[in-house]
Amino acid sequence: MSEASFIVEVFQNEYLPAGGREVNAIVTVTSPAGGSVSTEDAAEVIMVDCSGSMGAPQSKIMAARAATTAAIDVIKDDVAFAVIAGTQQAVHVYPPAGGMAVAGPQTREEAKQAAAGLKPGGGTAIGQWLRLACATFGTHRATLRHAILLTDGKNQHEKPRDLDAAIGLCEGVFSCDCRGIGTDWEVAELRRISAALLGTVDIVPDAAGLAADFAAMMTNAMGKQVADVALRVWTPQHATVKFVKQAAPAVEDLTSRRAPAGPQAGDYPTGAWGAAESRDYHVCVEVSAAAVGQEMLAARVSLVAGPDVLGQGLVRAVWTDDEALSTRVNRQVAHYTGQAELAQVIQEGLEARKRGDEETATARLGRAVALAADSGNEDTARLLSKVVDVVDAATGTVRLKKAVADADEMALDTRSTRTVRTRK
């Protein structure tokens, strides 16, 4: 992609009161509609849980076979790919000798036959699966590297630090979409993987829906056109970045992922982008206070891929004694601040519910109901209604349901970070 090919828009209230120091902006980034990438620059790995529990009931392993087949069917010609079976170990299912195959009519058919032979048996050590995927990607020169990981259980056969080390090894090497089938897996575990590897996480409560989900994930991956894009934030002297968060399509805090990028600049990873894809980021900068009437460039936000600058936007600060200007909250900033809080209170509410702290759970989930209603987040409101009885959505008055299906609780948890956008 050519330089300045991304559109970068900045939405903020640049006015600060005398002595004001915190500058907030929503940065909307949209990739170009045209362009294409060589399929030879893309690689895919599918990791399938083949532990013993995948055979109870048998419909789970059958769904995993069908889903793997559906994903393989979507892989474009000339894309490198591999299928891995995961238990307490990880083994290549296809190509059986390891490495990666190049997608074409014959290799896709061979891979589907291999997937049809997946059998359940053994334990679960997800770090082993990730390590083999990382090594497999290392055998090919592709830069657009994407993986799908499916599990139905907890990471029982290795220590948490082993999984953490494996995630660290894979960071920056490939992106990974994680799916949990059934209700015996840990949301926090898969969220840790998907967040670090810039992917998604979701529950597939009904095995019948797995094939369509795999096909959709692979279709999305096949649409990616530029890899390893970073959000570069430069600030002037005496200014610091307080946080950088992806705000849409899902909340993801990138602050701790900063990599130095020259004097007073840092890069925050955003992963790969497809055509005409749009995302929102919340950037918060703390500047030195200045006198009324002064203005400054608080931050310069750029999209970069390697040495190329793909787009740029400016965040400003202007000090004023006009209270009407300085107290006005930008609508986009307010909306996404509320969406970030929504994700947080849902997770806190569900955790309190697990502990038996009904008072905290009711308060947090009630606040979530009010935030979802206020922002128009209908999908989250619908998920919340399966966990609480809503008395008054506007005020967040709710009662905890006595009985909640595990799948409903996990769906609310996994999808808590999904946001709705506001019109600019």
Whole-number pLDDT of residue 423 = 58
Say whether both 218 and 244 belong to one domain.
no
Contact 35, 275 (CB under 8 A): yes
Domain boundary among 222, 241, 266: 222
In a domain, residue 377? The reply is yes
In a domain, residue 196? The reply is yes
Whole-number pLDDT of residue 424 = 46
Q: How many CA atoms lie within 13 A of 364 on its CB side?
A: 20
What global pTM score does this model have?
Answer: 0.95
Whole-number pLDDT of residue 52 = 98
Compute the distance between CA of residue 305 and CA of residue 312 in angstroms, rounded to an integer.
13
In a domain, residue 283? The reply is yes
Helix (H) or strand (E) holding 92: strand 90-94
19 pLDDT above the threshold of 50: yes
Domain boundary among 163, 197, 222: 222
For residue range 147-186, what is the model confidence (pLDDT) as tens digits? 999 999 999 999 999 999 999 999 999 999 999 999 999 9
In a domain, residue 421? The reply is no
In a domain, residue 309? The reply is yes
Say which CATH number the domain at 355 has. 1.20.120.1690
Please state the rounded mean pLDDT for residues 281-296. Answer: 97
DSSP code at position 250 = B
Compute the distance between CA of residue 413 and CA of residue 421 in angstroms, rounded to an integer.
20
- Domain with 101 in it: 39-222
DSSP code at position 87 = S
The band of 1, judged by pLDDT with boundaries at 50, 70 and 90, is: very low
The band of 392, judged by pLDDT with boundaries at 50, 70 and 90, is: very high
| Mean pLDDT taken over the chain | 96
Say whether both 77 and 190 belong to one domain.
yes
For residue range 409-422, what is the model confidence (pLDDT) as tens digits? 999 999 999 999 98
Please state the rounded mean pLDDT for residues 27-49. Answer: 90
CA 384 to chain centre: 21
3 pLDDT above the threshold of 80: no
In a domain, residue 128? The reply is yes
Closest Cα to residue 60, out of 204, 219, 200? 204
Say whether both 76 and 169 belong to one domain.
yes
For residue range 262-272, what is the model confidence (pLDDT) as tens digits? 999 999 999 99
Query: Which residue, chain included where needed, has tokens 């005020």?
Result: 395
Say whether both 185 and 115 belong to one domain.
yes
Whole-number pLDDT of residue 2 = 43
In a domain, residue 424? The reply is no
Say whether both 254 and 337 belong to one domain.
no
Say whether both 243 and 297 belong to one domain.
yes
Listed in sequence order, the residues at least 6 apart from 135 whose beta carbon sits closer than 8 Å to its beta carbon are: none
Q: Write the DSSP string, 280-320.
A: EEEEEEE-----TT-EEEEEEEEEEETTEEEEEEEEEEEEE
The band of 38, judged by pLDDT with boundaries at 50, 70 and 90, is: confident
Say whether both 316 and 393 belong to one domain.
no
Say which CATH number the domain at 99 has. 3.40.50.410
Domain boundary among 163, 192, 222: 222
Structure-token pair, residue 180: 């949990």
Say whether both 120 and 154 belong to one domain.
yes
Angle at 250 between CA 249 and CA 251, to 5 degrees: 135
For residue range 298-312, what is the model confidence (pLDDT) as tens digits? 999 999 999 999 999
In a domain, residue 99? The reply is yes
Say whether both 166 and 66 belong to one domain.
yes
Whole-number pLDDT of residue 4 = 46
For residue range 221-257, what is the model confidence (pLDDT) as tens digits? 999 999 999 999 999 999 999 999 999 999 999 999 9
Q: Tell me: cis bond preceding 249? Omega within 30 of 0 counts.
A: yes
Say whether both 136 and 72 belong to one domain.
yes
pLDDT above 90: percentage of residues in the chain: 96
Structure-token pair, residue 99: 């490495």
Say whether both 385 and 273 belong to one domain.
no
The structural domain count of the chain equals: 3
Say which CATH number the domain at 272 has. 2.60.40.3670
Say whether both 177 and 113 belong to one domain.
yes
